[in-house]
Structure 1
Amino acid sequence: MKCISTPLTLIIGFIFLLFPIVINAQTTETPKPESEVKYPQFQFKGLFQGRFLAAMTDDVDVLGLQHSTGEVTKTSFDVKRMRVGVNTKISPETEVVVLVNLADFKSDPKGKVLENAYAKYTFSKYAALVGGQFRAPFGIEDQVSVDIIKSFDFSNQYYEFGKNGWTSFQLGASVLGSAEIGKIPIDYAITIVNGNGKDQEKDKDNGKQYFTRWVFGLSKKNKINLGLNGGMGVVFTQDVFAVGADITSNFKLADKLHLELQAEYKQGTNHNLYFSLPVDGRTASVSDYQMRGFYFLPNLRYSIAYNRLSSIEISCRYETFDSSYKIDSNVRQTYTPMISLEFGKAYTGRIELGFTLDNYEKDIPDTSVYSSNLFLIQLQCRL
């Protein structure tokens, strides 16, 4: 750590000097009456996320890969995301959304780059129809963009469930809306997807995955929401399932101080792992391969409103995840402490500093399944 302290100090100082230049003041416009609005309307968006990475574990590189022999890349700059998108409102009810991540071109872009590509028709607040490629609603992390989450990136379970067709960008259709039961507001989504990820020419088989998400507003004052998820499907004639539950809240501790809490549990069939194994190296039933995970994410936010600095946030996500807890269990525990400085409104600009501390129950040499520690500085700008 001593060998990189000086470069880190210079980098942090440079970023702080840069931000007053790249963050501009925001303006608001008075909305026009609906009768004066002309269509189509275009809203262009963008996101830049650049990072400095420093591996802090011997023989492990910045991507988490352990090397038994040879030189290891211990520090590196990286562009995590360079997103460009457009939301086109064709009518008051119809919109088309396109989002691409140009940073995916740095490696093989096959199955990457195009993220959102869908159309949405809103009948009323009770029902809207979405079709195309979109983030299927199956948990907290599917409801928020990566640029406003309270950590560096999504959780390990989010990406693993995405590989199995339940989260992240999927091709399919969804009906969603809002209603009330008594005084309890409810958001719902009912979804059907191919289940083999984004940017695919066709479904991998004739099976589909069906799932639903229901969110109940339990407290308006403290913004306590309970989410329940469940799904089933067929993959290469094998029955698969996934379930989950989550809760979020936001407690006002003082005028400018808030404590935001998230907790989420998921469990489901890891058919992606099952079908990646040789036939003679797995059991006869896909149900023997199940994944489960839990994470807890507290975030303390202080609204400072000092010049362009809007807030300071401190968070630390704890996560435990096992990709196959019934057979060859190998629990992965991850701690992600982070401090975030927000500039402008709604994370227009953001500087994040912290660590990703990974611990596996069993380390496997020369793979990324290996305990390691990583230091990160992440610079974010939303356009």
Structure 2
Amino acid sequence: MNRLLILLLPVFLGILRVNGQEAPKADSTKAKITMKGLFQARYLFSGNKDVDLNGLHHTNGKAVYNDFDLKRVRLQFTSKISDRTDVVLLLNLADFKNDPVNKVLENAYITYRLDHYINLKMGQFRPAFGLEDMYAVDVIKSLDYSNQYTAFGNNGWQSFQIGASIYGAVSGEVPVKYEFSIVNGNGRNQTADSDNGKHFSSRVELGLQKSLKIKLGLNGGLATVQNSNVYASGIDLSGVIPVCKKWSLEIETEFKQGNNHVLYYGLDSAKRIGSVSQYQMRGVYFLPNLRYAINYHRLSSLEFSCRYEYFDRDFRHASNPRQTYTPMVSAEFLKSYNARIQFGVNIDHYKKNIAGTTQYDNQLFILQVQSRL
């Protein structure tokens, strides 16, 4: 019952504030289409010649340990078909370099704005279930999303999913943003759901302090997967601390825990120990980012960050936690990361190395350039 109350809390907050509000006046906005883009190219080098660029350890010494790569070549189309309705499409053309099945198409959804408090969305999108869902990958303060984001995305809570959501914001002394989502939970671009169960999730974000931009996020989710009940939950905190005129320190941290049903159902039934409820993952990361607003000619800022992550995909059984350090330096040109050069390294440490698997210590050096169109 407590989980259900947490899940439905944001919906109640939004609906309560709508009562008694006048409907916004319609305007004469004409339908128009806008296009944006993102280009990200990388050079990668593995510090261990027996570990490839995907983190897989090779016992035969044949790992590909350096590569030039197109990470993302995105095109986004937004059609404003009325003053209340938008349609958004997002393609990643870089997915064509490999097997494009279940790839390429990332966002494809329609939104309807009832008012500031209640908005509707349906299609393929990223459901709000954590701090990293609140911004695009091209403005994150590290080289990529965290390990826990990938794992919870594979389990249907984050990344691109097919479904619907209701979201909005409530102003006041403590501003509140909320989103309640219902999705299939089996990833993007699927021809059909893998079963009859759905993922129900919610996020409530509280603006605790305005000048320091301190925000607290609460996330909770319940789902039925192959007739078994699973859950996920998380909490996150972020803020910006001004150091002096041109220096600022941005901090974010996040903790999540939930069932790893993808791991459970991926095992041979004879190798499973107990039920899916006993297969649980958890992770936490802490990301400080020191920003210097230099504003010298086309160079807008320099940033220095080092994210620390702890993630264990099965802490009740075969626990082998992964600790990752990601120091990075970034140079921003123009504004809003329209041009950016990043250099950093992902340093992975496992409690124990397992030969022939991705659970093996490594250092992956990355030089990345990006341009927002």
TM-score of the pair, normalised by structure 1: 0.89
Q: Alpha carbon RMSD of aligned pairs, Å?
A: 1.3
| Cα offsets for 1:183-235 (capped at 9, x unmatched) | 10000001111000100011100001101100000000100000000010100
1:189 aligns with 2:185: no
Between the aligned partners of 1:309 and 1:204, the Cα distance in structure 2 is 49
- Give the counterpart letter for 1:380 in structure 2: Q
1:71 to 46, 49, 62: 62
Offset at residue 369 of structure 1 (A): 1.6
SS at match of 2:143: coil
> Could you tell me which residue of structure 2 aligns to residue 208 of structure 1?
198
Residue identity matched to 1:71: K
The residue matched to 2:114 in structure 1 has which SS? strand
- Superposed CA offset, 1:118-175 (max 9, x none): 0000111101000000000000000100000000100000010001010011001000
Question: 1:170 maps to which residue?
Answer: 161
Other-structure match for 2:222: 232
Paired residue type of 1:159:
T
Point out where structure 2 has 5 or more consecutive residues left out of the alignment: 1-24
1:158 equivalent to 2:149? Answer yes
SS of corresponding position for 2:277:
helix
SS at match of 1:184: coil
- Distance in 1 separating the partners of 2:66 and 2:348: 17
Secondary structure, aligned partner of 1:305: coil
Match of 2:306 in 1: 316
Amino acid at match of 1:353: F
Deviations 1:226-272 (CA, angstroms, capped at 9, x unpaired): 00000101000000000000000001111111100000000000001
Mapped to 1, the partners of 2:249 and 2:319 lie a distance apart of: 34
Instruction: Report the AA paired with residue 199 of structure 2.
Output: Q
Deviation at 1:35, TM superposition (A): 9.1
Distance 1:94 1:251 in 2: 37
What code does the residue aligned with 1:176 have?
Answer: Y
Q: Secondary structure of the residue that 2:177 maps to in structure 1?
A: strand
Identical aligned pairs, as a percentage? Answer: 51
Is the aligned partner of 1:142 residue 2:144? no
**Shift of residue 367, structure 1, vs aligned partner:** 1.8
Q: Which whole-Å CA distance do the structure 2 matches of 1:100 and 1:191 have between them?
A: 22
Q: Which residue number corresponds to residue 350 of structure 1?
A: 340
Q: Identify the range of structure 1 (52-61 vs 189-198) with the bigger mean alpha-carbon deviation.
A: 52-61
The residue identity in structure 2 corresponding to 1:323 is R
Cα displacement (A) at 1:279: 0.6
The correspondence of residues 1-383 of structure 1 with structure 2, limited to 5 A, is 38-180=29-171, 182-383=172-373
Structure 1 residues 283-340: Cα deviation after superposition (integer angstroms, max 9, x where no partner): 2410110000000000000111111100000000000000000010110000000000
Q: CA deviation at 1:277?
A: 0.5
Contact 2:29 2:83 in 1 (8 A): no
Mark the runs of 5 or more structure 1 residues left unpaired by the alignment. 1-33
SS in structure 1 of the partner of residue 149 of structure 2 = helix
Q: Measure how far apart 1:38 and its partner are.
A: 4.5
Following TM superposition, by how much is the alpha carbon of 1:58 offset from its aligned partner in structure 2, in angstroms?
A: 3.6
| Separation in structure 2 between the aligned mates of residue 123 and residue 339 of structure 1, nearest angstrom | 42
**Aligned-partner SS, 2:33:** strand
Report the alpha carbon displacement of residue 63 of structure 1 after superposing the two structures with TM: 2.5
The residue type paired with residue 41 of structure 2 is: G
Q: Deviation per CA, 1:3-60: give whole Å up to 9, x if none.
A: xxxxxxxxxxxxxxxxxxxxxxxxxxxxxxx999642111101111100111111411
CA offsets 1:325-379 (integer angstroms, 9 cap, x no match): 0010110000000000001110000000011000111212122221100111000
SS in 1 for 2:224: strand
Structure 1 residue matching 2:63: 3-state secondary structure? coil
Amino acid at match of 2:95: D
Give distance in 2, aligned partners of 1:191 and 1:70. 46
**Separation in 2, partners of 1:96, 1:222:** 34
- TM-superposed CA distance for 1:62, in Å, is 2.4
Give the 3-state SS of the residue equivalent to 2:294 in structure 1. strand
Comparing 67-76 with 192-201, greater Cα deviation is found at: 67-76
Q: Distance in 2 between matches of 1:217 and 1:338?
A: 28
CA distance in 1, matches of 2:53, 2:166: 41
TM-score under structure 2 length normalisation: 0.92
SS at match of 2:175: strand
Cα separation, 2, equivalents of 1:37 and 1:209: 38
Whole-Å separation in 2 of the counterparts to 1:169 and 1:265: 20
Structure 2 distance, partners of 1:37, 1:46, is 28
Alignment-derived partner of residue 17 in structure 2:
none
Contact map agreement 2:40 2:368 (CA 8 A) in 1 = yes
Instruction: Give me the whole-angstrom Cα distance separating, in 1, the residues matched to 2:53 and 2:235.
Output: 33
Instruction: Give the distance between the partners of 1:80 and 1:222, measured in 2 at CA.
Output: 33
